[in-house]
Structures are given as C-alpha cells and as structure tokens.
Structure 1
Amino acid sequence: MEITLFIFILLTLLVLGTHIGVALGSSALVILLIFEGTNLTVISQQAFESINDYALAAIPFFILVGDIVMKGDLAKRLLDLADLILRRIHGGAAIAAMIVSVFFASISGSSVASTTALGKNVVNLLGEKGYPKRFIAGLVATGGTIGLLIPPSLSFILIGSMMGIPIIDLFTAGIVPGILQGVMLILVTWWISRKNRWESEFHNIKVTPKMIGERFKSSSGILFLPVLILGGIYLGIFTPTEAAAVAVFYALLLVIILKKTNMRGVWTMFKGALLQSGMVYLIIIGGALTAFMLQSLGLTQGLINLIAGSGLEAWQFLLITNLLIILLGLFLDGISVIVLVSPLLFPVAIAAGIDPIHFAVILTLNIEIAAVTPPVGLNLFVMSGLTKIPVEDVAKGVGPYYFVLIISLLLVTYFPQLSLVLLK
C-alpha cells in the first residue's frame, strides 16, 4: 500500500514537471509523515546528514573545473595536438576526439561536462573534414560517458559518500575498466572511419617533430591538469575534495594567463557551477529521504531475505540488477538512479557475496549506458543542440558504440578482477 502510494505520488509529480529531487523528497515525506508517523526533526536530520559529507564538497569543484575548461577553450588545444599526431591514420581526427574524451574524463569526472567541453570543438574539426553529423554526435556523446568511470568520477564520489566506501578505492577500481572501454571505443572509431575511408586524403600530409612540439607547448598547461589531480590524490598530497579545489585554482589561473576570460566570465562560471551543484544536492536529499522511507518500511531487509530465500546465485542477481538499472535509466538521469538504488541494492549485493567496490563499478557502467539511451539520455540532448540534428539521429550515431558499452558492462560484471586487480 505505502510503496504503491509512493510510486503514484512520485510519477504524478514528475509528469507535472517537478524536479526529480523535489519529487523524491516530497513523495517520501508524505509516506513518512502519514503512514510511519516519523517526527519532522528526524526527517530534517536525515536530510541534513545526507549532504553533510566532506567528500561531497568535491562535486561543485569538479563541475566548475569542467566549466572552466569548456569556456576557456582549452579543449581545442588538446584536440589540435592529438589531430596532428594522428593525421596520417584513417579517421585520425575522430580517433583524436575519442582519445581527448578519455583525457577529459580525468579532469571533469562528469559525463555531461566532458561531452559539453568537447562537443563544439569536435563538431567544428570533424565537420571541416567531411564527417557526417550523426557520426560526430554519436562519437562525442559516447566518449563523454567515460567521464563517469575514469577518476576523478562524480559517480564514485557520490556512491562512496552514500555507502561509506573509500573514494580513492573506487577511483582505483575504475581505471582498468575505463582504459579498456576507451581502447574499445577507439578501435570502433578506427574501424568505422576505415570502412568509410574518411580522411584518406590526409595521409600524405607532412607532420614534423617541430609542428608537434609547437602544439605540445601550447597544450602543456592543460596536459598537466590531470597529473595535478590524480598525482596529488594517489601520492597522498590531496584528498579528492582538496584536489578538486586545487584543480579549480589551477584551471582559473591558466585561463586568466591565456586571456581566455575576465572577471565577468569567472562569475558566470561560478554561478553556473553553483546552480548545477544545488540541483545535485537536491537529488541527494530526495534520494536519502526515499532510502530512509524504504528502510523504515522494512523493504531493504525484506529484499535481502527474499534474495537469500530465492536461491538466486550472484551472477543471476547481477543480471537482474543490470536490467533493472538500464530500465530505470530510460526515465531518470544518472544521479537520480544512483541515489535511488544504492541504499536498496548495495546491502543485497553484499549479502549475496559481491564486493561493494565491484558493484559500484557495475552501477557506474549502467549509468554510462543511461547517458546515451533515449528518451532521457542527457548526452544525446547535448549533442543534438550542438549539431542541430534530432535526438533520434544522435541516438543512431551512438548505435555502433552502444554495443561497446554493453560488452564493457558484461565483461566487468562477470570478471570482477577487471575492477579489483589494482586493489590487490
């Protein structure tokens, strides 16, 4: 009865256009107050504790870094460097775009931020070389998803803070799957480009060490940023939150030195990051209240008992989990899915003998798929806006890459060593 009413209220609010964070929190609040008689003080404490976590302070900083890189036009320098180095290869510019997508994953930690930062520059570069808009849009939309997997990942920061898992362990667990997925996406890009003979006329263009050196010099500032972030974290100099703050300072200093912004531009960046962060925190609060409601109703423990009594093996549970999360991803954004399912599924996964770090990587891979899956896939809408083509055409461009995402998910799901090898 209570769960049915919760779902009805939630769906009604979403249909009316209510923000997902408000919809989750309001629906849970009704159930807690009316059916459970929960004190408002307890509810407010749950809401406060859900965001009273030092690790979550990294979120606005990493969002801001991605915004600075995008508006400071730093992505173009890297793209030009990679394009020059790979110019004599079939699809060199497209491969360069995918490699730079992987690089930006180590800066922003966000799928949408990576897609947005690279989108305009890639559209211009590949468009000039005759690539179809559908292919360009699919490439960038898919490449941006790696931002969720390669550290520093906002997905891992959120999961770690919610479930009490060391964030640096989650970052480490994402490295091998992220690199594996990046290599697979690069190979598919090369294969498609070779098949269509894109850029074949550029093979004889001369590329000299001097030309590469000049572009490397102009890109050196942004090239150092992931070294600063990841090096600082893994050498124990910074916590992830401190690394995010240092990255903001460095990126701001870089764009100011390069005269890519002014004080008005800086204020606009800070304002945008503040608004985006507020929406993220609102979703976290709504998800936390929903999780508290489910716990109060005994659903979490009931689900654990159900799985234990059903005789399901771990691989069967993971298969069902993947299908469930992909289904939710059709209608909800990644952050909403994480805050909604993590408190419910992590205890069940642990009870089934699944390593929580491995399960976090599986969840993140599912969120990657959601980012490029209609009708809510945010990366599809970003690239639709940049290329001026319909969302369905962007989805068709993602098609060949979609199989890579599914294969990556299956490999990581059933070969946990891929996630845990660096933690041994």
Structure 2
Amino acid sequence: MLPEFVLQSAIPFEIAILLVTALSILLFALGVQLVLAFGLWVVAFHILVPAFPIQNMSITAFSELESFTYIAIPLFILVGDLFRKADVSADIIAFSRACLGWLPGSTGNTVIGTSAVFSAITGSNAATTASVGQALYPSMEEEGYEPSYAAATIAAGGTIGSVLPPSIMLIVYGVTFGVSVPALFIAGVVPGLAMLVILVSINVYLSQKNDYGVDTDEYSFDGRDVLETTWRAKIGLGAIVILLGGIFAGIFTPAESASVAVLYVLVTAIATGRLRSLGEIVRAGYTSLVLLGVLMPIIVIAVLVQQNLSFLGLQGAVSGAVLSLGSRWLIIVALVAIVLIAGLALASIPNVVLTAPLLTPAALEIGLDPVTWGVIFILGDAIGFITPPYGLNLYIISGLTEIDYMVVAYKVLPFLVGLLALLFLLISFPWLNFLA
C-alpha cells in the first residue's frame, strides 16, 4: 500500500508515477544510457513527492560518494590499466599454461586461468573477455577447438573476476550496504576458486570427449616451470599478492592496498622497461578517470532509486512475497530466480544497488548473514554475464569472433549449468563457504 501522501495535481500520483516508470523502462529498452533512463525516473519522483525535495538528490550524492572506501575503485581501475600498458599478458598466459596446460584441453584451461587473473586485477568482465579473446582465441582455433566452443569458454572465464577478490563489485556492495569489504574479499575466495575449478573441470571433460586441443598425454605438471613463469609474471601476480595480502593481514584498508599496488606496478614496470614514457602512465590514469566518471553517476542514481523504492514500500512487498512461499527450498529457488533475472537484465552496479535490498530481508530470514549473502548475490550477478538474452560477455565475444550470438549461448550452457549448481549449493548450504 502506498504511503499517505496526495499531490494536488490533475493526474493522481499513482497514475503519474506509473507513466514515468513506463517511459523510463521504454527508454532503457530502446538503448538509452541507464543513468539517463533511471535519472528521469528519479527526478520525476522528487518532483511528484513532497517528502523528497529536489535538494535530496545533491545531498544523497555527496553523502554517498564521501565514503573513503570508494577511493579504492579508481585505484583498482588504475592498477588494471597500468597492467595492460605494461603488456604483461604473455607472462600471465605462460603462468596459467604452466599451472593448467598439462591437463586435457590445455589452451581452454589456460583461457580460464588467464581470465581469472586478468579479471581479478582489472575488475572488469568485459575487458577480460575482450583481452583474453584477442590473445587466445586464434590459438584455440589452431588447436582444433570448435570456434563456438572456444568463444563460449572465453566468455565463461570472464565471470570469475566479479567474485574472486579483489573485486570492484564487492567493494560497491560493501560500501553501499555497510558490509565490511575485507570480510567480503575473504568470503569471495572459496566461491571464486570454486568457479575456477568448475569451469576447468567442465573444459577438461568436454575437451576429452570431443578431442579438443593438443595431446597432453606426454606432459605432466612441472613445478620448476610453474616457478619460472611465476617469476616472469611477477608484476601482475605481485599486484594481487599486495592487494589481497595487505587486506587479509589487516595491514591496509582496500584503498590503501590499492595505492600500494599502484606504486608496486609503476616501480616494477618502469624498472623492467615495460613502461618507458610518462605519456603511457598519463593515458592509463586518464582511462581510469573516464571509467570513474561513468561509474559514479550510476552508483548515485541507483542509490536514489533504491531510496525511492523503499519509500514506496516495494522492498517489504517483495521480501514479503518471497517469504510467503513458506518452504525454505521454495524461497531459495525464488531468490536464485530473481537474482538471475535481474543479473541478465541490468548492469552490475544498478543490479547490486536496486535488487539486493529487495531480497536481503528474505535472505537473512533463511539464515544467510550479510557477508555470505553479498558474495552469493555477486555470484548470481556474474552468472548473468553468460545468460541469454542479455549476457554481456556473450555479446562481446560474439562481436569479436563474428560467431552468431545464439550459437555461442548454446555452447556456454555446460558452463552455465556448472555455475548455477555452485550458486544453489552456496545458498542452500552456506557453511560450504568456510571462510565467510
């Protein structure tokens, strides 16, 4: 039931807000930028509702963005940009091949391992899918992988970075809902590694079944090769160790850890000749500022929408509807279904800020703590990147390889089923994530 307020207008409030909502949804469906489509709804709501004066928008923006933890986001992005400018991709690929390439489906496993490292550093599924696709798709084709399967493997590998720390989405979730970011990072380790193991296992099975890739029977795990490639990949891997080690040890906050990682990448890349000019560093910083300028308005608009929906009582209505199912297993199915639907329809940040509050009361009611629920929600959001009809990673790799979107979507189904099984396991038996 709507709150007790009446706007003196020719159009009743309920009709006016429905018309604005319909217009915003239509604009979103037509491809208008999300911040503009949702921003229209926010502005209209503040005009229509006396309890929300227009000044609330600027007040909310300031109070939301003054959080010190948000400083970590541009620094994480800068680490990823410096990582790319230093051109250490070949070192990470060699490291991943040494660790996983001796298994059947050698290059497919290398793709998944490389994607995990890339996406953990850059914090971007899209950038990881594009980068790994450009680097390794030709090799997969040469080694006899079916092109659509190779594309699907790359798209699936790009999902890992949303959950495996350090993750920008875990930072956004933690700051927005007042949950400890270090605790979320620790809780993301087991699910992130589980995603890696599941995707590699599926690739090994399918590669053996379909005779994909080079013959690895004559190869075995070589610890010396792993150590050598680890040393060569010291810039990228060292950044991860600093980012996670400092946070887990309680030495740094996420923002401080990211600052130290930026300094580490700069020093090592310059010392090894990977970065040779000030211009390269400036361009990396410029890219970070541009991405920050895209992310921050989306976060503010999404928070404002969440405030307005809360005022309308939608959060209580959705949680009440889910809890009314009675059975714990039906509630779990409903939570997973809503998370997946929202994940495939919305970009990650709006999905986190808008959808998570609607479901959190129901999640807590069935025994999930805020940290565990946060990681589960981000996992569901990541699965949306390879779930039709949206599936951002599928669109990116389809455009890169010029393979029909639906063909790639069909080939990604085994990976999708594996990740869905992990999602159900974690939400049904949260104790499996023993670090949470």
Give the TM-score normalised by the residue count of structure 2. Answer: 0.87
Partner of 1:271 in structure 2? 286
Aligned counterpart in structure 1 of residue 266 of structure 2, from 248, 252, 256: 252
Task: Tell me how far 1:248 sits from its aligned partner.
Answer: 2.2
Aligned counterpart in structure 2 of residue 114 of structure 1, from 103, 114, 128: 128
* Matched residue type, 1:293: N
- Tell me the distance in 2 between the aligned counterparts of 1:239 and 1:251: 18
1:143 aligns with 2:174: no
1:83 aligns with 2:101: no
Quick one: structure 1 residues 415 and 162, their matched pair in 2 at CA, closer, same or farther if it must change by over 3 Å? same
Kept after mapping to 2: 8 A contact 1:313/1:352: no
Task: Tell me how far 1:327 sits from its aligned partner.
Answer: 1.7
Which shifted more, 5-14 or 144-153? 5-14
Partner of 1:300 in structure 2? 315
Task: Tell me how far 1:222 sits from its aligned partner.
Answer: 2.4
Kept after mapping to 1: 8 A contact 2:46/2:54: no
Quick one: structure 1 residues 89 and 369, their matched pair in 2 at CA, closer, same or farther if it must change by over 3 Å? closer
Task: Tell me how far 1:79 sits from its aligned partner.
Answer: 1.2
Partner of 1:158 in structure 2? 172
Write the deviation string for residues 221-247 of structure 1: whole angstroms up to 9, x where unpaired: 322221111111111121111112222
Aligned counterpart in structure 2 of residue 285 of structure 1, from 297, 300, 303: 300
Kept after mapping to 2: 8 A contact 1:47/1:285: yes
Q: For the aligned residues, what is the CA RMSD?
A: 2.6
Partner of 2:69 in structure 1? 55
Task: Tell me how far 1:252 sits from its aligned partner.
Answer: 3.1
Quick one: structure 1 residues 168 and 217, their matched pair in 2 at CA, closer, same or farther if it must change by over 3 Å? closer
Partner of 2:404 in structure 1? 390
* Matched residue type, 1:265: E
Aligned counterpart in structure 2 of residue 130 of structure 1, from 138, 144, 155: 144
* Matched residue type, 2:300: I
- Tell me the distance in 2 between the aligned counterparts of 1:379 and 1:16: 20
Which shifted more, 354-363 or 391-400? 391-400
Kept after mapping to 1: 8 A contact 2:394/2:408: yes
Number of residues of Structure 1 aligned to a counterpart in Structure 2: 421
* Matched residue type, 2:75: F
Aligned counterpart in structure 2 of residue 12 of structure 1, from 23, 26, 30: 26
Unpaired segments ≥5 residues, structure 1? none
Unpaired segments ≥5 residues, structure 2? 1-13
Kept after mapping to 1: 8 A contact 2:322/2:334: no
| Pairing of 1:315-354 with structure 2 (within 5 A) | 315-351=329-365, 353-354=367-368
* Matched residue type, 1:287: A
Identical positions, percent:
31
Write the deviation string for residues 72-105 of structure 1: whole angstroms up to 9, x where unpaired: 3212212123324555432122212222323334
1:422 aligns with 2:422: no
- Tell me the distance in 2 between the aligned counterparts of 1:89 and 1:18: 45
Task: Tell me how far 1:357 sits from its aligned partner.
Answer: 1.7
Quick one: structure 1 residues 314 and 286, their matched pair in 2 at CA, closer, same or farther if it must change by over 3 Å? farther
- Tell me the distance in 1 between the aligned counterparts of 2:289 and 2:248: 28
1:29 aligns with 2:29: no
Aligned counterpart in structure 1 of residue 386 of structure 2, from 343, 354, 372: 372
1:183 aligns with 2:178: no
Task: Tell me how far 1:45 sits from its aligned partner.
Answer: 0.9
